[in-house]
């Protein structure tokens, strides 16, 4: 299974233009690379395909609440008006790289470095946490820890707190 995941990530990189030096060395790093490739949502790509069933359920509940608010107040921006917050800040970073990978498989944590070449002081890092994917033995993104140390909150927490 790891080989098929790695192969899919490598094929994705070829399609989306990643160089050979960007190729991941582990399944966890492959998820990080796929996250970077898909975060700006190229045609036909969406980060939702990378999430675990558990996180997909939480996102679905949040989007349903968001739709209710949007219908009730059509002239106001709903809590998830900028989309699902897969990163600390809504600004799209022109540079995205996989950083440190801690662990392998379920529970692995992959650092995602967001870079702004014109404003390096704006660079930041988040970390994705991997969990069990849609079928036994596969992986998916189970949460995002905002900030280098995760002190900026998490995606799961944000999905709940947006509607409190």
The predicted structure's pLDDT at residue 10: 43
Range of the domain at 124: 47-161
Euclidean distance between CA atoms 39 and 12, whole angstroms: 13
Three-state SS for 1-36 is CHHHHHHHHHHHHHHHCCCHHHCCCCHHHHHHHHHH
Euclidean distance between CA atoms 112 and 143, whole angstroms: 13
Please list the residues that pair with 129 across neighbouring strands.
109, 143
How deeply is 64 buried, as exposed, middle or buried, from its count of CB atoms within 10 A (0-12, 13-18, 19+)? exposed
pLDDT tens track for 113-150: 999 999 999 999 999 999 999 998 899 999 999 997 76
The predicted structure's pLDDT at residue 43: 55
Residue ranges in the chain whose pLDDT is less than 50: 1-20, 22
Q: Is residue 95 part of a domain?
A: yes
Nearest to 25 by CA among 33, 36, 35: 33
pTM of the predicted model over 0.85: no
Q: Is residue 137 part of a domain?
A: yes
* Strand-strand pairing, 139-145 and 124-132: antiparallel
Q: Is residue 25 part of a domain?
A: no
Q: Is residue 11 part of a domain?
A: no
The predicted structure's pLDDT at residue 19: 44
* Strand-strand pairing, 95-102 and 139-145: unpaired
Number of structural domains (the chain) is 1
Euclidean distance between CA atoms 85 and 158, whole angstroms: 8
Q: Is residue 2 part of a domain?
A: no
Q: DSSP 3-state assignment of 79?
A: coil
Euclidean distance between CA atoms 20 and 159, whole angstroms: 36
């Amino acid at each position: 299974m790891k080989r098929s995941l790695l192969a899919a990530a490598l094929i994705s990189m070829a399609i989306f233009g990643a160089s050979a030096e960007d190729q991941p060395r582990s399944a966890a790093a492959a998820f990080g690379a796929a996250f970077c490739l898909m975060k700006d949502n190229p045609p036909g790509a969406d980060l939702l395909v990378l999430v675990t069933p558990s996180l997909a359920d939480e996102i679905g509940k949040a989007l349903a609440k968001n739709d209710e608010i949007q219908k009730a107040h059509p002239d106001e921006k709903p809590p998830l008006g900028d989309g699902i917050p897969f990163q600390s800040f809504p600004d799209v970073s022109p540079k995205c790289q996989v950083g440190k990978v801690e662990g392998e498989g379920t529970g692995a944590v992959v650092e995602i470095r967001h870079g702004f070449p014109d404003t390096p002081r704006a660079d930041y890092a988040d970390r994705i946490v991997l969990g069990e994917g849609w079928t036994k033995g596969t992986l998916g993104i189970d949460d995002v820890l905002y900030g280098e140390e995760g002190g900026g909150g998490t995606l799961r927490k944000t999905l709940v707190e947006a509607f409190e």
